[in-house]
Amino acid sequence: MKSNIIEILLILGSSKENGDQIIKNASIEISKYFFIKKQTKIVKTSSYQVDYTTFFYNQAIVIESNFSVHSILKRMQKIERSFGQKKKNQFWGDRILDIDIIFVGELLYYDSTINIPHEGIYSRQYIKDFINEIGWKNEKFQ
């Protein structure tokens, strides 16, 4: 029986001074539930369209899973909350830990809770840079 393992590209972010350590710890937490196939270095990036901080720490991670999109989303939200992140529906504001699901294989998926691919791939240069660095291949978005 085929297990239908797919690759998922995540971007982790934090606007805290110790955000690099938060992301390292979040990666460890993610590895308790998912196999981490690849990951980039943690980088400090300029903030995008926000005035509450001038920087974020970010990292891209490729995990493997056979879970549904919503199961992955729920697990990532639970991890965010375990680090003290309060509201996922808060679009702008201070981020202890933000885990964005960028791609789920070749899936195109849109509903009221999640968009796959993540809309940030079109406007945020650091996401494009991570996609290239990690070697993510998606024929629909080359």
The per-residue pLDDT for range 72-112, each reduced to its tens digit, is 999 999 999 999 877 655 555 678 999 999 999 988 888 88
Region 108-124: what's the mean pLDDT? 83
pLDDT in the model for residue 120: 76
pLDDT in the model for residue 1: 45
- Angle, CA 56 vertex, CA 131 and CA 96 arms, to 5°: 110
**Domains of the chain with bracketed CATH:** 6-141 (3.30.70.560)
Residue 135 bridge partners (DSSP): none
Tens of pLDDT, residue by residue over 19-54, are: 999 999 999 999 999 999 999 999 998 776 666 556
Instruction: Please compute, for residue 30, the number of CA atoms within 13 A of its CA located in the half-sphere on the CB side.
Output: 33
